């Protein structure tokens, strides 16, 4: 039974990673940049949701919506101010700027909300399900997380395949110049991508803090790194890849925590990542890169 | 005088950068050393001297990987960590054998560098098969793995020799032993061996190694691989060999810096050498200019002291640091500033032409 309950908590943690990784992967696919500040957007989302629930006494659903709106705006502002002027600069310059933004968000959060941990109350309203006479307990949070992840995944796939903006996004990720010639506004498309990624980050932040209820200004950084790893694991730039990578990463993490060692679980997660990349150098579902001289 | 002037002009570009790099370090040392020994530098500043030296070594060595080899490494602190803990163990082991502090420091630094080099070799083989962002993520992963493993490492020493374990200090089964590394609490009871002078000597050694490597046949092969790997391969440069050489040299230097760094404190934890430390060093390298050794030195010194100088803004200092970082990147890299720069240069060259015509 412990095996199944571990599997379920693995899938649940993995779903959170997957939602964060989707944001990473979409931004990477279109802007070709590693947005290291993504993890901190998660943290901001969680704080906004926390404040709206604890200080304004709003219902959880409204709090989530407010967090999403706040993060969407934040994402658009960050992209416009910090990343847009560097669109043609080297990828390393953009990376360092993203790190600067990440420092900024963490320290701004430290000033606004302080360093004392906030206890996040779960946004999920119903009780855990207990099966087989209480031998197997599925927490309500994990059910909601998994369902949210599936809905987001299907929604995003439909969005990029069917809608006009989604098609524009795919075009920009293939070839920016050609897309511009076809009448697609590249800047707006990239802004929308950041907006979607940040809104997803808000959801991920709320779900993450519902399951692990301690909220500090650096809450987002480790899940951010793990989700980035998940995105690479599945093949960066690919939406199903991010999903697969996230869930596998979550399962590996929980299993190594319960069967091998709590302290070494991160090391094991990263070791598996390295093994996968050695066998498939562009991730599980990544495209093969052909080289030209 | 004109003869000397001509001679300086005739020196090649590399020699000039070499002289610049060495002289900056030596001049800084000549100015700072008497100030420090007479206590004219504030306590918090003089405490920063050894860390600045180690971070300069870290930045120069990372510049070898990022600037000259052209591969983004996000796990450089991992090598520093290996060097730090191996150095501490070595210093502790040789405590009774080598009496001289200076000699013991040198031996520990060599041990730290050697083991970091082995780590670099083990990591380099798989890592250098990958490209771009995938390579970056694997170096990040290795840095985290090293941090995690050292975080649950227990090392002690007694009459029977060195004991190592991964579970707890009791499991080592020591009798009257001394604990060197105590799991998550890190290395404890380190004898402080590092000094500012040692730091500066290590910087000079690093400069000597890196500048000579860069200007050698190996260095030219490395930059050729960076500029175009396939073209380099087609003229007979063995890519893996040269990449690995640069990577290992970079790791060895980082390990030496780590050993020096650890021996500056009484205790040190593995968490100190995490992803953020790697990123910090990368920031130094990028702001100093990729492939620019002098730039790395200056950027490290300025950026390391900056939070200290901003202390009067107390709570706001890291926020200001972040804003400064973003602004510097925007100003040096955005399209608009590049255009403005070009316009100014164009004007200047026009003025020069005019002057020449008038003459």
Residues 6+ apart with CB under 8 A from B217: none
Residues of A in contact with B283 (CB under 8 A): 96, 99
Residue A68 vs residue B353, higher pLDDT: A68
- With beta carbons under 8 A apart, name residues in chain B contacting A97: 325-326, 329-330
- Give CA–CA dist B346/A158, Å, rounded: 51
Contact A85 B134 (CB under 8 A): no
Pick from B90, B341, B117: nearest CA to B246: B117
Decide if B286 and A92 are in contact by the 8 Å CB cutoff. Answer: yes
What average pLDDT does range A56-75 have in this prediction? 90
Q: Helix or strand or coil: residue B156?
A: strand
**In this predicted model, what pLDDT tens digit does every residue of B201-251 receive, in sequence order?**
999 999 999 998 988 899 899 999 888 888 888 888 888 889 899 999 999
The answer to whether A132 faces chain B, any CB pair under 8 Å, is no
Query: Chain B closest CA to A192's CA: distance in Å?
Result: 22
The shortest C-alpha distance from A35 to chain B (Å) reads 12
SS (H, E, C) chain A: CHHHHHHHHHHHHHHHHHHHHHHHHHHHHHHCCCCCCHHHHHHHHHHHHHHHHHCCCCCHHHHHHHHHHHHHHHHHHHHHHHHHHHCCCCHHHHHHHHHHHHHHHHHHHHHHHCCCCEECCCCCCCCCEEECCCCEEECHHHHHHHHHHHHHHHHHHHHHHHCHHHHHHHHHHHCHHHHHHCCCCHHHHHHHHHHHHHHHHHHHHHHHHHHCCEECCCCCHHHHHHHHHHHHHHCCCCHHHHHHHHHHHHHHHHHHHHHCCCCCHHHHHHHHHHHHHHHCCCCCCCCCCCCCC
Q: Answer whether B333 sits within 8 Å of A229, measured CB to CB.
A: no
Tell if the CB–CB gap between A93 and B286 is shorter than 8 Å.
Answer: yes
Average pLDDT, chain A: 85
Tell whether the model's pLDDT for residue A271 goes beyond 70.
yes
Q: Which of residues 171-230 of A touch B (CB under 8 A)?
A: 225, 228-229
**Which of A87, A100, A273 lies at the smallest CB-CB distance from B322?**
A100
Angstroms from A202 CA to nearest CA on chain B: 22
Locate the chain A residue with the closest alpha carbon to B274. Answer: A222
Contacts of A263 in chain B (CB under 8 A): 148, 151-152, 184
Question: What's the gap in Å between the CA of B145 and the closest CA on chain A?
Answer: 4
Look at A270 and B333 and tell me if their CB atoms are within 8 Å: no
Which of B260, B229, B335, B206 has the alpha carbon at shortest distance from B84?
A: B260
A264 touches chain B (CB under 8 A): yes
B66 and B211 Cβ atoms separated by less than 8 Å? no
Partners of residue B186 in chain A, C-beta under 8 Å: none
Is the pLDDT score of B318 beyond 70? yes
Q: Does A101 touch chain B (CB under 8 A)?
A: yes
CB contact under 8 A, B141 and A274: yes
How big is the A-B interface in CB pairs under 8 Å? 125
Task: State the nearest Cα–Cα gap between B140 and chain A, in angstroms.
Answer: 9
For residue range A147-163, list pLDDT tens digits in order. 989 999 889 889 988 99
Q: What residue in A sits closest to B184 (Cα-Cα)?
A: A263
Measured distance CA(B36)–CA(B39) in Å, rounded? 5
Under the banding of pLDDT at 50, 70 and 90, the label for residue B314 is low
How far apart CA B221 and CA B217 sit, in angstroms, is 6
Q: What is the pLDDT of residues B159-183, one digit of tens each?
A: 777 778 777 777 777 777 778 888 7
Chain A: residue whose CA lies nearest to B275: A225
Which tens digit of pLDDT belongs to each residue from B196-214? 889 999 999 999 999 989 8
- A-chain residues within 8 Å CB-CB of B318? 103, 107, 110
| CA–CA min distance B327, chain A (Å) | 9
A85/B130 CB distance under 8 A: no
Residue A292 in this model has a pLDDT that exceeds 60: no
- What confidence tier does B290 reach under pLDDT thresholds 50, 70, 90? confident
Query: CB B279 to CB A99 under 8 A?
Result: yes
Residues of A in contact with B341 (CB under 8 A): none
Domains present along chain A, CATH in parentheses? 2-279 (1.10.3470)
First to last CA, chain B: 26
Task: Give the model's pLDDT for residue A74.
Answer: 94
- Residue B6 confidence (pLDDT): 62
The minimal CB distance from A282 to the residues B134, B142, B319 is found for B134
Percent of chain B with pLDDT over 70: 95
Nearest CA in chain B to A87: B334
Which residue in chain A is spatially nearest to B228 when comparing CA positions? Answer: A293
Assign domain B15-274 one CATH number from 1.10.287, 1.10.3210, 3.40.50, 1.10.3470.
1.10.3470
User: What percent of chain A clears pLDDT 70, i.e. is strictly above it?
Assistant: 95
pLDDT band at B256 (very low <50, low <70, confident <90, very high): very high
pLDDT > 90? residue B260: yes
Look at residue B64 and tell me whether its pLDDT is greater than 50. Answer: yes
Which residues lie across from B2 on neighbouring strands?
Answer: none
B293, two tokens: 């050794």
Q: Which of A29, A33, A85 is the best mutation test for B, with the most CBs of B within 10 A?
A: A85
Q: Is the pLDDT of residue A293 over 50?
A: no
CA B14 to chain CA centroid, Å, is 21
Lowest-confidence segment of A11-15, A141-145, B311-315 by average pLDDT:
B311-315
Residues of chain A contacting residue B130, judged by C-beta atoms under 8 Å apart: 277, 281
Name which of B151, B230, B330 is nearest A263 (Cβ-Cβ): B151
Chain B hits for A96, CB-CB cut-off 8 Å, are 282-283, 286-287, 325, 329
Q: What is the mean pLDDT of chain B?
A: 84
Residue of B nearest to A89 (CA): B333
- B253 or A117: whose pLDDT is higher? B253
pLDDT of residue A267: 87
Assess A97–B contact: CB distance below 8 Å, yes or no.
yes
Nearest CB among A87, A100, A103 relative to B329 is that of A100
Per residue in A207-263, pLDDT (tens digit) is: 888 888 888 888 888 888 888 888 888 887 788 888 899 999 999 999 988 888 777
* Closest CA–CA distance from residue B339 to any residue of chain A (Å): 12
Instruction: Note whether A279 contacts B: Cβ–Cβ < 8 A.
Output: no
Please name the member of B144, B184, B325 whose beta carbon is closest to the beta carbon of A270: B144
Q: How confident is the model at residue B30 (pLDDT cuts 50, 70, 90)?
A: confident
Confidence check: pLDDT of B190 > 50: yes
Contact B319 A229 (CB under 8 A): no
Domain ranges of chain B: 15-274
Q: What is the pLDDT of residues A5-49, one digit of tens each?
A: 888 888 988 999 999 999 888 888 888 888 888 999 999 999 999
């Amino acid at each position: 039974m412990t095996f199944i309950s571990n599997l379920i908590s693995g899938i649940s943690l993995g779903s959170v990673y997957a939602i964060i990784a989707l944001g990473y992967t979409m931004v990477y696919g279109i802007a070709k940049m590693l947005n290291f500040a993504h993890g901190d957007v998660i943290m901001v989302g969680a704080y906004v949701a926390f404040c709206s629930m604890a200080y304004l006494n709003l219902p959880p659903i409204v709090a989530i919506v407010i967090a999403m709106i706040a993060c969407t705006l934040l994402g658009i502002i960050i992209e416009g101010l910090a990343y847009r002027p560097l669109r043609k600069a080297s990828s390393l310059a953009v990376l360092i700027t993203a790190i600067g933004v990440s420092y900024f968000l963490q320290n701004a959060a430290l000033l606004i909300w302080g360093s004392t941990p906030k206890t996040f109350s779960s946004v999920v309203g119903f009780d855990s399900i207990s099966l087989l006479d209480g031998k197997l307990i599925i927490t309500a949070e994990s059910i909601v997380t998994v369902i949210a992840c599936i809905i987001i995944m299907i929604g995003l796939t439909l969005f990029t395949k069917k809608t006009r903006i989604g098609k524009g996004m795919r075009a920009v990720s293939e070839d920016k110049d050609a897309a511009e010639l076809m009448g697609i506004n590249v800047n707006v498309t990239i802004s929308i991508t950041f907006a979607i990624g940040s809104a997803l980050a808000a959801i991920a932040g709320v779900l993450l803090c519902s399951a692990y209820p301690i909220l500090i200004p650096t809450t987002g950084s480790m899940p951010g790194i793990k989700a980035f790893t998940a995105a690479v694991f599945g093949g960066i730039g690919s939406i199903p890849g991010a999903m697969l990578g996230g869930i596998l990463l979550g399962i590996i993490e929980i299993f190594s925590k319960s069967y091998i060692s709590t302290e070494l679980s991160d090391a094991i997660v990263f070791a598996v990542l390295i093994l996968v990349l050695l066998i498939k150098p562009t991730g599980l579902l990544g495209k093969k890169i052909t080289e030209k001289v | 005088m004109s003869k000397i002037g001509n001679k300086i002009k005739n020196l090649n570009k590399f020699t000039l950068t070499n002289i610049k790099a060495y002289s900056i370090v030596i001049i800084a040392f000549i100015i700072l050393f008497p100030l420090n020994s007479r206590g004219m530098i504030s306590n918090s500043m003089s405490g920063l001297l050894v860390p600045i030296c180690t971070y300069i070594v870290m930045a120069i060595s990372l510049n070898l990987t990022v600037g000259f080899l052209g591969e983004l490494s996000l796990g450089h602190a991992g090598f520093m960590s290996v060097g730090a803990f191996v150095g501490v163990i070595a210093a502790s082991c040789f405590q009774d054998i080598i009496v001289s502090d200076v000699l013991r420091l040198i031996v520990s630094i060599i041990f730290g560098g050697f083991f970091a080099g082995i780590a670099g070799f083990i990591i380099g083989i798989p890592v250098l098969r990958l490209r771009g962002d995938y390579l970056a993520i694997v170096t990040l992963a290795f840095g985290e793995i090293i941090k995690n493993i050292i975080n649950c490492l227990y090392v002690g020493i007694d009459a029977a020799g060195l004991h190592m374990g991964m579970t707890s200090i009791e499991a080592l089964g020591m009798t009257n032993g001394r604990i060197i590394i105590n799991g998550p609490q890190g290395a404890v009871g380190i004898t402080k061996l590092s000094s500012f002078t040692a730091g500066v000597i290590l910087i000079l050694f690093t400069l000597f190694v890196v500048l000579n490597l860069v200007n050698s046949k190996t260095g030219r092969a490395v930059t050729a691989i960076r500029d175009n790997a396939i073209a380099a391969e087609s003229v007979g440069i063995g890519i893996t060999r040269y990449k690995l050489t640069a990577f290992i040299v970079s790791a060895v230097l980082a390990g030496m810096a780590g050993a020096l760094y650890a021996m500056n404190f009484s205790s040190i934890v593995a968490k100190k050498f995490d992803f953020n430390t790697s990123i910090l060093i990368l920031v130094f390298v990028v702001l100093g200019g990729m492939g620019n050794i002098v730039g790395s030195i200056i950027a490290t010194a300025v950026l390391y002291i900056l939070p200290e100088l901003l202390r009067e803004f107390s709570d706001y200092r890291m926020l200001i640091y972040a804003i400064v970082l973003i602004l510097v990147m925007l100003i040096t890299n955005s399209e608009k500033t590049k255009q403005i720069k070009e316009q100014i240069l164009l004007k200047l060259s026009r003025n020069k032409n005019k002057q020449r015509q008038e003459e």
